[in-house]
Amino acid sequence: MSMVLRDIPKLIDEPTAGLDPEERVRFRNLLCGIAQDRIVILSTHIVGDVEATCENIGILNEGELIYQGTVEQLLNMAEGRVYTAEISRLELGTLQEMYPVTSILTVGNSATVRFISDVPPVFQAERCRAGVEDAYLYLMHLEKEGF
């Protein structure tokens, strides 16, 4: 049985590193087109690239495969564990000690913080939909905690 070139998986390592946002989107669209009829293995640290181009993913931690599945399955792992809250900038340090924080947007003396928690926090926070970056950080938190 002979193998056709398109049957051989293509490995692409950090293809969008250093690209400006417009070129990154253009390259991701090109990559999606290429992956229509062949296997493409994408190695990247840029979560937006994974979110935009991948259906199945594997996540490595210190060379060990800790997750293999679909993006949707990864998102489901973190669903119900991602919160957002508006807090004082003075409270940021305390919150960061208590929870894995996935993003901070500061405006004036307040900050909108997105964080991960297995149980509802004791202060007022809204549960929000998990993104791929949230799910990745949740998985890394589980690994760090030894679950």
pTM of the model: 0.80
HSE-up of residue 10 (Cα within 13 Å, Cβ side):
14
Token readout for 16 is: 């969008």
| pLDDT number for residue 15 | 84
Q: State mean pLDDT over 41-64.
A: 87
| CA 96, chain centre distance (Å) | 19
Largest CA distance in the chain: 67
Strand, coil or helix: 81: coil
Minimum mean pLDDT among 6-15, 48-57, 77-86, 126-135: which range? 6-15
Q: State mean pLDDT over 134-140.
A: 94
Task: Compare 133 and 7 and report the one with higher pLDDT.
Answer: 133
Q: State mean pLDDT over 90-119.
A: 94
Residue 63 and residue 75 in contact, taking contact as beta carbons nearer than 8 Å = no
Residue 56 and residue 69 in contact, taking contact as beta carbons nearer than 8 Å = yes
- Residue 104's pLDDT band, with cuts at 50, 70 and 90, is very high
Closest CA to 117 of 145, 88, 87: 145
| pLDDT number for residue 1 | 45
| pLDDT number for residue 7 | 60
Q: CA of 63: how far to CAs of 67, 104, 121, in Å?
A: 12, 29, 33
